[in-house]
A and B are shown apart, each in its own frame.
Chain A
Amino acid sequence: MMEWETVIGCEIHTQLATKSKIFSGAATAYGAEPNTQACAVDLGLPGVLPVLNKEAVRMALMFGLAVNAEIGKRSVFARKNYFYPDLPKGYQISQFELPIVGKGELSIELEDGQTKVVGITRAHLEEDAGKSLHEDFHGMTGIDLNRAGTPLLEIVSDPDMRSGKEASAYMRKIHALVTYLGICDGNLQEGSFRCDVNVSVRPKGQAEFGTRAEIKNLNSFRFVEKAVEYEVARQIAIIESGGKVIQETRLFDADKGETRSMRSKEEANDYRYFPDPDLLPVIVEDALIEQLRQGLPELPDAKKARFIEAFGLPAYDAAFLTGSRAMADYFEQVVESANCEAKMAANWVMGELSAALNRAELGIEQSPIGASQLAGLIARIADNTISGKIAKEVFEAMWSGEGDADQVIEKKGLKQITDSGAIEAIVDEVLANNAQQVENYRNAEPDKRGKMIGFFVGQIMKASQGKANPGQVNQLLKSKLDN
């Protein structure tokens, strides 16, 4: 049996979070009525001139600095020529030979905890196209050009990934990076962040690459993994049955979990790039680069290291909590306002909260329980007002909007019983009602007693509806039973 190696490179299109378009003053806001944000420049009307958006340039440079890339101090816009109705000019303004961001690198974390460095080939600025709506308009296609001219940073990786998992780890890392930088809103559903993957296979040990297929427009981390898995199996099956993989563009069908060929007659792409005469070369001054470098926020790797260092968190927790900037900010706010052990806050954010968010398919930005509310709950565990078990009940109530932790504890009477007189009364009652078990306990070997005491703890917690302080219960029980 031949052993195969998978080779993957990614092209990620990130929409830059500017207010206006890359070459015009039309708005970029998502979800507007069709064609209400498409001006003469975006429509490609004759006589218009593109003027480059300063913010798009700054954002591209910030990305370049974040991946330690060579900065293109002189970059050039070029026309990529092709015909499609959602591209009214007949060409897309992009960058070809001289991109604004050159060679860089990014480290990703693998499942076994190892890190791997993935090369960034380049990143270039370009304009997005409009949208074609193929529903039935009397056999015609509807065109919405609101998206036309939205700034994109296309980030191209080296063919360094070797599995679908690595490809999705890379995509997640780029996603974290651009959202940390605040240069992209990272909204996968709205298409702000889309990934094309180039997949090929080769016999293990062979130096040259196999023929690749490009899977376009994957807008979910999971889809990247699934699409690669399917595509690898498809290509191996073709080769092992004596066929040849053809170089083509394919689409991933998420419902069926398979990729299929996008075009029946594949024409060799011939984009006839040439420098756009409407735009002059973009010159980036060193002072601007320095200014942007100084202003870079704390990036995921640095934040992760700090969470390990300053909070004493395990590497796994730190990686999870720094997975997105929103998650990291939420966690830090919880620690700060609860004034509790960081590990305790981490457990709640990664445990109850994340589980509830996953069930409700919400991002942490949409959490019905805010960071200060969760901190309020954790503070009540830390100060012994409630036990960890009761806290889960309070959490559920908070999740369904019944108020903050103190209100829920008050309303439901969940406050932990710490009054030793009250606890003693319950303990005495339980012991009196279970005379046989008390006798068994006293007759048992000391090393068996530890297990047997659990029975009494259970009964007491039940009798107190979970509210007796477990530490005090244990102490009282021991002193009463052992005498």
Chain B
Amino acid sequence: MALNKDDVQNIAHLARLAIDEADIPAYAQNLSNILALVEQMSAVDTSGVAPMAHPLEMAQRLREDVVSEENLREHFQQHAPAVENGLYLVPKVIE
């Protein structure tokens, strides 16, 4: 399966990546190569093989329901470009 220019632009948009128009053919080629590699694996009969959810053959460990984190807001907000009244400020997301 080969990706075209629209596919590349859509993938870039979903990942919020700004890409140069001039680079698109190269991206399309590289991404298509990856898909081709995956396609080769389709030749293997995987019926009866459960899809792998995680490479480790282990079960998730659970933690007790205990509040262990204290309020470190001032500390975290030092890294934020803009804060006000304890809120993180971001560019407006609705018109």
Contact = CB atoms under 8 A, between A and B. Distances in A.
A51 B61 contact: yes
A139 B82 CA distance: 12
A76 B76 contact: no
B89 A54 contact: no
A270 B15 CA distance: 11
Nearest to B88: A143
A142 B88 contact: yes
A43 B76 contact: yes
Contacts of A280: 53-54, 56, 58-61
B28 to A, nearest CB: 18
A282 B68 CA distance: 22
A35 B53 contact: no
A467 to B, nearest CB: 57
Nearest to B70: A39
Nearest to A27: B67
Contacts of A385: none
Interface in B30-89: 51, 53-54, 56, 58-69, 71-73, 76-77, 82, 84-89
A33 B86 contact: yes
A51 B53 contact: no
Given A24-B69, A51-B63, A140-B92, A275 B54 contact: yes
A283 B60 contact: yes
A4 interface: no
Interface residues of B, number: 36
A402 B86 CA distance: 44
A57 B61 CA distance: 11
Contacts of B18: none
A140 B91 CA distance: 5
B1 interface: no
A141 B66 CA distance: 32
Contact of A281 (B14, B53, B88): B53
Nearest to A285: B59
A235 interface: no
A143 B66 contact: no
Contacts of B56: 280
A320 interface: no
Given A140-B89, A280-B56, 4 more contacts: A39-B69, A85-B90, A138-B89, A280-B53
27 contacts: A20-B67, A24-B69, A25-B68, A35-B77, A37-B71, A38-B76, A43-B76, A51-B63, A54-B65, A55-B65, A57-B62, A76-B54, A81-B14, A132-B93, A133-B87, A141-B89, A141-B90, A141-B91, A141-B93, A142-B84, A142-B88, A143-B87, A144-B87, A270-B10, A270-B14, A280-B53, A282-B60
Interface of B: 10, 14, 16, 51, 53-54, 56, 58-69, 71-73, 76-77, 82, 84-94
Q: Across the A-B interface, give the 4 residue pairs with the lowest CB-CB distance, nearest first.
A: A25-B68, A142-B87, A55-B65, A54-B62
